[in-house]
Structure 1
Amino acid sequence: MNWGTELWDQYENLAAHTHKGIEFLDKYGNFVKERCAIELEYAGKLRRLVKNYQPKRKEEDEYQYTPCKAFRQLLQELGDFAGQREVVAENLQSNVVRELHLLAKELREERKQHLNEGARQTAILNAAIGALERARRTYERAARESERALEAFQRADADLNLSRAEVEKQKANMKLRSQASEDAKQEYTDQLRKTNEAQRQHYEQRLPHVFKQLQDLDEKRIKNIKNFMLSSVDVERKVFPIIMQCLEGMEQAANNINEKEDTQLVIDRYKSGFVPPEDFQFEPAAGGDTTDSSTNHHHHHNHLTAARGTVSGNRIKKRGGLLSIFSSNKKIVEACNSIKNNMSTDGKEDYSDLPPNQKKKKLQAKVHELTKQVAQEQAAMEGLMKMKGVYETNPTLGDPMTVEGQLNECCDKLKKLRTQLRKFEELLADANSQVSATTLHTLPARANGAPPAPATSIGSNSESLSRSASESSVSTGTGAGGTGGGVGSGGVTAGGRTAGGSPESGLGGELAVAHADHTNGDGDHDHDHDNDHESDFDYYYEPDLQPLGYCMALYAFEANGTGSTMRMECGERLLVLETDAGDGWTRVRRRHTREEGFVPTTYIATTLYADARDH
């Protein structure tokens, strides 16, 4: 199938065909370009949709329920899905549109060169044909003149009246014309041979070579269109695994919806701790039997006394018909309204304006927060004392007096925190005694009188229950006078990012180990107690943190076994939940298992979504 032999006389058609072929290549390129624009527009609209449906600050409380948490996770997965559509557009642009544009330009230039060469060869052949035509006409003219000279000689030779000289003249002219005719014939013959040779060369070699180049060019165009289509499919196929992960994430989010859990959450969130009012008693009409009236009045007085501290508060009120129903329940209504208004976070410091159950939960959270602060200050103090000891042993490292002021400040702060902690522990003990025996979850008292360390409350931005449980030996204090285990400035942050045993630990790792040894001696009974019982706050948890970006592991990292760090493989891709807070650690999540933990910041290359959008 060679164009040069099969289509030797179709020069014009082949020129037109190759031109249309390159135009079709341009058409396909425009199609892919418009497809890229559609993908980018689709991704942009998806991202705007995700942004528009992100929970507002005033909606954060509602997003503690499992359908809302699932919807938030679905939005996150949809955002990742939109990112994959952007990847499709970018790869189509670089792998197809750009390469196709360069190919079309190259093919146009090659086609122009081949057609020019074909035109040049055709001009050479036409020149040879023109020379042959001129030689033929010259030969015909010389032959006619030779024939006329021969006839003139024959007439002169037959005419007896002409002189010999005239006859010889005609004879000489005849011979001259005859020789000229022979020369023209020879030239014509030579040119005929040359022209035929040129024609054979043209149609057997030169023109077929040009046509073969045009054929190769057209086949190259067709083959590349095939490759571009396959490349487009491959671009789409490569994002399918991540798109499937997004869909699996949406499916997992839906499967995490739990109606029983939400039902319990509503109870925990709105339960006041009050008991329902008792039955109304018969009140005799005025002027009736004084004995019955006295008896009934005494019984009614006892009923109100029994209700003291529940519905009617600390004052005894006398019911007065239907109006008294609303009066006796006024505190319940007010309490429920206060729960709706951000759980009375702007109320009194001791939460005395809250219903019993909500008051107990607020006090538990306050005790937990103060316990962590005491533990952090204690650890910081121990770190400063150790540093002072090091300076005293080796003055070349520093002046011990430089940390004296910090020690005094830390000590004062620790005393204030412990005083506050004792105050709120006493308030919590009182609140526990006030909670009705009908409460769903009864809190057992600690052996030393302190409540168990509560889990994270609703709307908190601190660590989730899983991390709190795994780090109970570090983050839980020992009550009013005990020492905590969460190292603060001495090497471990308040969030529980343990530095001990990690590549960047330094002095902080030693402080963490020393402090762990210090707390193991007097805190075991608290830890055992925590493991045996659950507080009401075990039902409250932190919503999943939204990823801030993603990172790539530059090196492998092994977790140190404390529960806060997370193992990662070299080259592994992880989601970034919290950026480095200055302690050398970054909080990440593994996409498939949802495992979370901290990894060294220097071990990863991080790309934040905000930075990616800026570029």
Structure 2
Amino acid sequence: MNWGTELWDQYDNLSLHTLKGIDFLEKYGHFVRDRAAIESDYALKLRRLVKSYQPKKKEEEEFQQYSSCKAFKILTDEVNDLAGQHEVIAEDLQSKVIKELNALVKDLREERKKQLQEGYRLTQILQAQLDTLQRSKKAYDKAFRDAEKALDNFQKADADLNLSRAEVEKQRTNYQYKTQICDTAKNEYAQQLQRTNELQRQHYRSGLPEVFRHLQEMDEKRIKNIKNFICSSVKIERNVFPIINKCLDGILRAGDIINEKEDTKMVIDRYKSGFEPPEDIPFEDLSRNGSDTGSAHIMSAAQPGLGGKIKDGGVYTVKGTVSGKAIRKRTGIFQIFGNRGHAAISDGKEDMSDLPPNQRRKKLTQKIEELKAKVAQESAARDGLMKMKSVYEANPALGDPMTVEGQLNESSHRLEKLQSELKRFQGYLDDALKNLNGSSNSVTNSPRLVNGSRHHRNSGGSAAEEESLSRSASDSSVSNPTVNHNRQSVPSTPQLNNHGCSNSPESGLGTSHTSLPGVDSDPDQYDGHPADPESEYYEADLLPAIGTCKALYPFEATSEGSIPMSQDEELHLIEMDQGDGWTRVRRMNAEFEEGFVPTTYIETILLNT
């Protein structure tokens, strides 16, 4: 069955039906477009969700340690992949369905318009022929009536004896003329009728049915493509189901890796300080008098971790504050927690001295492993360059050995620098291990007060402490300037004390001139109170500047207690050189940042007093 034979007379209805069909196809296209937009928006929201819950930089360490955090990180990655699959759905719907559907709608509209125009043209031709037939029929009808009237007049004239013969002939001639015109009109009508019937037969049996056939094929194509588009949409979504299932399986595996026992064990590894719990607080017998006994009782109560205030002869000690007069202490290697306010190493926390012993050991071990990997990598690179150079020397046609010389020198320089840094951190680790092994003793056996003051560290230090101090003194060095402007280019050699340690600020044993009456002159000695890791500076007044100084050469701080300075930089002068080759200065543009610089590197200007 086809529209051409069954619906030969339904031109207007078929025109309206095909228009509604194309509008329906376009409406389906809008549905798929909105569906793709929803998929794209859903994927975008999933990505935003994942991004908003990504760990911050300060939280990355936890996400790399705990299994629950690792599982959550995997979960967010899988959800991010899920978002990617929804983006694939949106993109495939856009490229494989919506694009083809819009093109099909355009083609169908053009095809419909073409066929309707053809049908309209055929209809107009038939209608014009029918109009011509009608006109020829009217002409024949008029000619026939005129011929009959002329015949009637001729018969009346021929029967009337009163009329002359000439009058009768006139009527005869008129009759014959009208009869001839009628015959001509009749023939024209017959021809037009035959032509009209033939055209009408062609119109309804071949012309218009062909147009309707094309419209039927067009409509079937539209319906068939709706089916294909629906199936394609389902296929597009099914194609991502295996990947979505893999993402869900990944989330399940992430949940399976969570181990509560391991996580709680990691908490111990992460926060264990290495200290021993404090001893019992002794009973303070107020009935006993004596400054020595009272001081001993008070010091016994000052166990690490208590963080309280202890009064000794009117002098308060609060979280590392040496006395009522506040200074910025030079942190020594015996201090369990590093001082964050230190101007040199503490600013960069190179030796990890601000961490508890156990944590310091872990961090230093990680740093050493990283340096070892870098050393191995740089060694391999240097070996490769050496082999390349030897090949070039053996066969100059392959290349110029001098081109590799510069790279080889740079590689060797980097390797020496890495090895030096590795050696320095290994020294830090040795020091940390010694402190860790003796941490319990340093906690329970805090320095004693004798006559209201502490013993000097130089006289009461252990062999391990002296060894650490010697290492610190031996590692202390400053870079030499390239130009000597009538000054000594190398700082004077630091003087050594009775224990073989230098008096430079690196050693932590330099002579201090900021001591208080009744307190030992060395501000670096351990006083039994751990430094507060949260307090950046000792709560004290800064020493007044006694002048200014200008850096003649750049200086890089490579040891504890010193601060770097750039050439021509101006600084406040805090303490003059006491014979050890170092001068204490403070930055003008950074509050509390002070330390020691080589005396030969600066030009000093004292304030007029």
TM-score with structure 1 length normalisation? 0.56
The runs of 5 or more residues in structure 1 that have no matched partner are: 288-296, 319-325, 328-333, 437-615
What's the counterpart of residue 314 of structure 2?
none
- Confirm or deny: 8 A CA contact 2:338 2:353 kept in the other structure: no
Select the structure that is richer in helix.
1
Partner residue in 1 for 2:420? 416
Give the SS at the match of 1:360.
helix
Aligned residue in 1 for 2:105: 104
**C-alpha separation in 2, matches of 1:411 and 1:50:** 41
Q: How far does residue 384 in structure 1 lie from its aligned partner after superposition?
A: 5.6
Amino acid at match of 1:73: I
Aligned to 1:56: 56
Equivalent of residue 434 in structure 2, options 427, 430, 433: 430
Structure 1 residues 420 and 28, CA gap change in structure 2 (3 angstroms):
same
Deviation at 1:398, TM superposition (A): 4.4
% identical aligned pairs: 55
Indicate conservation of the 8 Å contact 2:338/2:352, yes or no.
no
TM-superposed CA distance for 1:269, in Å, is 0.8
The CA RMSD over aligned residues, in Å, is 4.5
Structure 2 distance, partners of 1:56, 1:106, is 54
CA separation of 1:16 and 1:432: change in aligned 2, threshold 3 A: same
> What amino acid does structure 2 have at the position aligned with 1:72?
K
What pairs with 1:514-525 in structure 2 (closer than 5 Å)?
none
Question: What's the CA shift for 1:266?
Answer: 0.7
Contact 1:392 1:399 in 2 (8 A): yes
- The answer to whether 1:237 aligns with 2:241 is no
- How far, CA to CA, are the matches of 1:209 and 1:363 in structure 2? 90
Match of 2:553 in 1: none
Q: TM-score, normalised by structure 2?
A: 0.56
Cα contact 1:373–1:417 (8 A) shared by 2: no
The letter of the residue matching 2:127 is: N
Partner deviation per Cα, 1:182-216 (whole Å, 9 max, x = no partner): 34333322322222222111111111112222222
Q: Which residue of 2 aligns with 1:122?
A: 123
Matches within 5 A, 1:50-449: 50-63=50-63, 64-277=65-278, 350-351=351-352, 354-376=355-377, 378-379=379-380, 382-383=383-384, 386=387, 390=391, 398-399=400-401, 402=405, 409=413, 412-413=416-417, 416-417=420-421, 419-420=423-424, 423-424=427-428, 426-427=430-431, 430=434, 433-434=437-438
Native 8 Å contact 2:382 2:412 kept in 1: no
Q: Distance in 2 between matches of 1:68 and 1:99?
A: 46
What secondary structure, in the 3-state scheme, does the structure 2 residue paired with 1:61 have? helix
Inter-partner Cα distance in structure 2 for 1:250 and 1:422: 42
Deviation at 1:114, TM superposition (A): 1.6
Distance in 1 of aligned mates of 2:412 and 2:193: 120
Counterparts of 2:282 and 2:391 in 1: how far apart (Å)?
76
Structure 1 pair 103/372, CA: closer, same or farther in 2 (3 Å)? closer
AA aligned to 2:9 is D
CA distance in 1, matches of 2:117, 2:394: 93
Contact 2:368 2:422 in 1 (8 A): no
Who is 1:577 aligned against?
none
Residue 352 of structure 1 and its aligned partner are, at CA, apart by 5.5
Question: Once the two structures are superposed, what CA deviation does each residue of 1:288-328 show, in whole Å capped at 9, x if it has no partner?
Answer: xxxxxxxxx9xxx9xx99x99x9699xxx99xxxxxxx99x
Aligned-partner residue type, residue 197 of structure 1: E
CA contact (8 A) 2:336 2:353 kept: no
Distance 1:415 1:247 in 2: 47
State the Cα distance separating 1:353 from its structure 2 match: 5.5
- Equivalent residue, structure 1, for 2:38: 38
Contact 1:272 1:358 in 2 (8 A): yes
Distance in 2, Cα, partners of 1:364 & 1:169:
143
Higher relative contact order (CA 8 A, sep 6+): 2
Q: Is contact 1:275-1:311 (8 Å) kept?
A: no
The answer to whether the 8 Å contact 1:366/1:424 transfers is no
1:378-431 per-position Cα deviation (integer Å, ceiling 9, x unaligned): 545555655565566556754589478558746854763564365346436536
Whole-angstrom CA distance in 1 between matches of 2:429 and 2:8: 103
Task: Give the AA of the match of 1:423.
Answer: G
Structure-2 separation of matches of 1:408 and 1:13 = 91
Q: State the AA in 1 paired with 2:157.
A: A
How far off is 1:51 after superposition?
A: 1.8
For 1:197 and 1:364, how far apart are their aligned partners in 2?
A: 106
Structure 2 stretches lacking a partner, 5+ long: 312-318, 321-334, 441-609
Q: CA distance change for structure 1 residues 405 and 126 in 2, over 3 Å: closer, same or farther?
A: closer
